[in-house]
């Protein structure tokens, strides 16, 4: 009888232990404001699945696309507060919140999304701005250069930007104004209707939006001002308390996957720019290349944007000399990765 009782108790303990293990799985949430069909959402969803796979199911991450938990401008604070455990957003939606990282959004001549994504990641690794200390950084990435797209009038020279009202946010709005256009900040979800209803005459956005947000159906001309090359910097971050509670072996898996996905999302941004270009052309859109002399004029026109940033940010604790040194680091890193992109045979979407 005692033997039977002992066996029964053992079975109960084993069942109880197994149930405890199952319920002890680490469950996290990931918020991405992009729609589920967008590359950035697909990559973040894939990242979630890869973490689950490599932890043998010990970590389960529920992915919410379309800003179901947090809208784009609420992501960082929402992650800090634990509304979402992980979030993906864009520096430009909270201008001034991340002044040091916003340097990466300046018109510093990024020729492609592949280059810009690697540059912003290298910038963060080197300088570790304290403005991200409240979270665990998963990775940074960046879109391709913001180009001038218009509905009725082509822009071939600087003077033709006068009278244009362009959707532009964050530091890109400064660039649009410096080039002579009127900047109109708005969310990407509002932009299609604003163009359709002639509220704005065009956009300063990367080519990927021409397909991803169907702007290529409405825009007729795109000026490939990649020589100016300012981009939007994106971040994926995790609640720091949740990160700190993870076992070391799980943290190691996260770091391994993060490193791999830096390249995956860099390739992704580059590929959807190419897809956007193809879509735009299929709708009859025309891509206009700037001559070397004209590109120099555009770069001279946006120098005040960089100078103003240095003056503004130097009042927040980083000296003007240090900021200038960081700009030089970005340019050097840009050139290194541009050469590497050539070597690897990765296409530049804006160069014909």
| Residue 96, pLDDT score | 92
Q: How far is CA 218 from CA 165, 202, 213, 273, 289, in A?
A: 15, 9, 11, 17, 20
Rg from Cα positions in the chain:
23
**To the nearest 10°, the Cα dihedral for 77, 78, 79, 84?**
-170
DSSP state of 226: T
Whether the predicted pLDDT of 116 surpasses 70: yes
pTM for this model (two decimals): 0.89
Q: Which is more confident, 269 or 15? A: 269
Whether the predicted pLDDT of 248 surpasses 50: yes
The domains found in the chain, sorted by start residue, are 21-91+113-142+233-271 (3.40.190.170), 147-231+282-344 (3.40.190.170)
Tell me which residue has tokens 């050539």. 342
What is the three-class DSSP state of 239?
strand
| Residue 57, pLDDT score | 95
170 pLDDT band, cuts 50/70/90, is confident
Contacts of 117 (CB under 8 A, 6+ apart): 140, 141, 142, 262, 265, 266, 269
Q: At what angle do helices 248-282 and 39-54 cross, to 10 degrees?
A: 150
Whether the predicted pLDDT of 6 surpasses 50: no
Tell me which residue has tokens 């005040």. 304
| Residue 19, pLDDT score | 37
Positive or negative torsion for Cα 55, 33, 306, 352: positive
**To the nearest 10°, the Cα dihedral for 266, 267, 268, 272?**
110
Strands 182-184 and 147-150, how do they pair?
unpaired
Q: What is the mean pLDDT of the chain?
A: 92
């Amino acid at each position: 009888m005692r033997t039977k009782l002992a066996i029964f108790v053992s079975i109960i303990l084993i069942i109880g232990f197994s149930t405890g293990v199952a319920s002890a799985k680490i469950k996290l949430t990931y918020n991405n404001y992009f729609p589920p069909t967008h590359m950035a959402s697909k990559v973040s969803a894939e990242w979630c699945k890869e973490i689950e796979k490599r932890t043998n199911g010990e970590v389960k991450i529920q992915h919410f696309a379309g800003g179901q938990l947090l809208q784009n401008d609420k992501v960082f604070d929402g992650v800090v507060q634990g509304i979402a455990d992980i979030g993906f957003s864009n520096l430009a939606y909270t201008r001034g919140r991340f002044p040091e990282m916003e340097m990466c959004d300046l018109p510093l001549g990024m020729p492609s999304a592949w280059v810009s994504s690697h540059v912003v990641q290298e910038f963060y690794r080197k300088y570790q701005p304290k403005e991200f200390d409240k979270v665990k950084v998963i990775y940074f990435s960046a879109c391709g250069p913001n180009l001038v797209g218009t509905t009725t009038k082509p822009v071939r020279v600087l003077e033709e930007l006068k009278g244009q009202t362009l959707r532009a946010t964050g530091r890109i709005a400064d660039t649009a104004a410096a080039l002579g256009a009127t900047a109109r900040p708005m969310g990407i979800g509002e932009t299609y209707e604003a163009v359709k209803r002639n509220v704005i005459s065009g956009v300063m956005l990367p080519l990927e939006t021409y397909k991803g947000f169907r702007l290529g159906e409405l825009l007729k001309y795109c000026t490939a001002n990649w020589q100016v090359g300012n981009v939007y910097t994106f971040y994926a971050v995790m609640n720091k308390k949740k990160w700190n509670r993870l076992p070391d072996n799980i943290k190691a898996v996260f770091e391994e996957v993060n490193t791999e996905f830096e390249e995956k999302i860099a390739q992704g941004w580059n590929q959807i720019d190419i897809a956007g270009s193809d879509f735009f052309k299929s709708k009859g859109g025309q891509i206009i290349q700037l001559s070397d002399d004209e590109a120099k004029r555009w770069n001279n026109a946006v120098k005040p944007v960089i100078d103003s940033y240095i003056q503004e940010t130097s009042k927040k604790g980083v000296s003007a000399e240090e900021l200038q040194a960081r700009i030089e680091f970005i340019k050097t890193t840009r050139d290194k990765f541009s050469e590497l992109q050539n070597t690897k045979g990765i296409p530049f979407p804006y160069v014909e």
